[in-house]
Structure 1
Amino acid sequence: MSQTLSAVKGMNDLLPGEIEIWQHVEGLARELFGRFGYGEIRTPMLEDTALFVRSVGEETDIVGKEMYTFTDKNDRSLSLRPEGTAPAARAYIEHSIVNKEPLTRWFYTGPMFRYERMKTGRYRQFYQIGAEAYGSKEAAQDVEVMDMVAQFLQKLGLQDITLNLNSLGDETCRPAYHAKLVEYLQAHREELCSDCHRRMEKNPLRVLDCKNPTCQAVAAKGPNVLEFLCEPCRAHFDDVQRKLTALDIKFVVNPRMVRGLDYYTRTVFEFIASHPALGTASTVGAGGRYDKLVKSLGGPDVPAVGFACGLDRLVLLLKESQQKFGATPDLFIAVADAGSHDAAFTLASRLRREGLRVDFDTRGGSLKSQMKRSDKSGARFTLVLGELERTSGQAKLKPMAGGEPIPVALDDIARTVRAHSAAPRADAPSAS
């Protein structure tokens, strides 16, 4: 007997009944991000491993422990993308976008891959919706990105989400902070985990991102990065805060937040949800500025800022909200007798061409069982087609929510259904 196959651990199937929530989130993102002038890009799921080593950072947990990396048949080291910013930057460079437009705004959505310990809201194949803006060094661009995330989360109807904000400085002021941080960490070396001993040598900021509770306690008492900002970085951070306030976007300054990637400079931010459904995986959207990333990958010296939202976590929150998602059929066609099956099948096809969502059970069955399936489908109306309806050209639409049957000519079903639809369809675009 052959062994039953199942999905790879940490990589989940998305089935009807749940996929409608995902489609709702993705559709809302496309519509909203388009309002901000962001166009969609799609990058390959596989990239040269060196792209992530050079951008994300060799000492990060992502590169050091979590990437799905393999050697292909041409002896090249390839990796499944663990995040979306580095591939977007590679595409920006490869296609010489800087020569085509001074300011570029992109968004993306798709699967990412990291081999990490799984828990609620954290999977090995996970999905992100993100955006990148290239060409503007101004604080207004940072705030535009955060405004876009804030509006996105608001339109999803999510509550109790806090924006955490920090600045990591730049190559001018960060070395002084690094030196002070290393001095502090060396004094507490015995309290740190072995991974943080290595991080201290390569990139001490990574210690602040360690998930070990003891290391977190040490980091919490360390030097404050905001006290080391140079005047330009200070002015930029102050401008970010002023503009967020002007847009009435509430935020909390969190000087211990560094994010888990090496490419960030100046502004970093996280949108954190306080909902028990997420457990400790409470960050639903995060990002920041990475002015040196494009240049470090061999491209022009172009400033950039971006973010990514965890789609899996947003879906978990929306499930908890008890909102209804997805379109239901406009009409279910039931067959009264075997001789009407072909006519009903033909009618369903015509009405679909005319724009209706029509459910029809190709198996037929008793009229009672078909009516049960109609009720379960959530269809607004049911039409029973039998010999009488076929010969007379007349039928009745039964409103499944209750009410008197509506007489209708078989040639006029689509118009009649639309005219008697009391509520907007579940997939109709929002007026907001």
Structure 2
Amino acid sequence: MSDVLNKRQNITFSDYDREVSFVSTLYGAMDTDNFCENCTVGDQIVSFNLAYIGMVESYGSEKNILAMALPTTLSTLVAGIVALFSGIASDPTLGPNFPTLVAALQSGPAAIESLAIEQLFFATPLGGNSVTQLSAVGVPSAYLTGFPDVPEFVIAVNTIPGITGVTVSSLAIPTATSVAMYNSIVGDATGMTAAQTLAAAPGDIATAYSIPTSSALIWQAYLDYIMVSYGANAFRTSLGPFLGPTSGGMLVKRSVHEWIFGYTDPVVSPTYPTSDPRRFIRSVTKIRDVSTIGIDHVPWTVTEKSTWAYLYGSTPYRIATGVYSSEEATDILQRTDGTGSITYPHSGHIEKVIGKDIVTGQYAAIKNLGAETDVTAWGDFGMGLDLKRSLTLRRRAGRSVEKNDKVSVETYGVAYEEFLPCPINKTSCGRNTEYHGSFNV
């Protein structure tokens, strides 16, 4: 990176100027002059899509994502049946053969939607036939492309292994109850009701809707069927072709520029409101394109500041100025998501916030005790390397550069023991190295 700029906002001095707080956002440009030969910012890189992996982790599995999407899947199915019925009823050739559909269309949107839900459950509007069978009675195949699988409850469940002989009468589910069951799923856009219904004991569902336990079990089987047929098909479509230029999934292909400064994901991005900056997936969260420095990227309206650094790339700091105590100058008092200490999310390890600012630190100990003195910095290198831990810095022998007879430049680096993994370095054990390496990146 080149032209790296640290934009500091809301700079405030406190405690008689002993402390200064601010919000830091890094900006930079790609140093194309130092790219490898024939390398460009448009070169494509295939790597893990951490945003999608994070989504799978939060849901528990990809199948759980499908379960949580059932409200959309079912409502989209009903909307498709409404469109199909409306098209048939409006067709001067087909309409006379389907008087029930024509009457519903003439009665208005509510009537045609009610008929579509009835078709989804019992297939009675089409005389017990599935919408997938309509081509046999002259309905153009173009009308039916949205129905690759049988969508009707009473018909589809008979194709599920272990379930046979299901009829409208054997289900014993009144029409009003079927509407309530449908609305309970689609009415909760979060998908939690759908997931809970799939996981519930059949007896509990039976009690809730006053239906036989066997019918409750079949309802769960049907929801699973819809989830892995229509839900999975829609999910695959939304992911896009494998490694397509805008596709999603565990592995994605994006340009160098997109990996550094952000890209959209067809599955993850739509889960956030249009105005939410998290719709733009940024693998390197701590630096933004310098061409956007005029934009205020600080999420001032987000009250939970612990998310500012890793979700939005804006880091709150509180640093000692050294006023009245020069030894404390550039001490980190608060940063990222902790005041005094930070708890690691996976291991529960508590890391005390200590040390100097690693970039601009003023180390009085070196001045007073000599260049061989080890010092402590807080490990945040910027540019995405927000390590959330202190680091021991040690002088690199033989790396001195004499500027003149009074000034020499010394090189300090991270002490070797900081790289030792658990259990050799007991401190690393608490930093969850099993998942993130000894630096817990």
TM-score by length of 1: 0.26
TM-score by length of 2: 0.26
Larger radius of gyration: 2
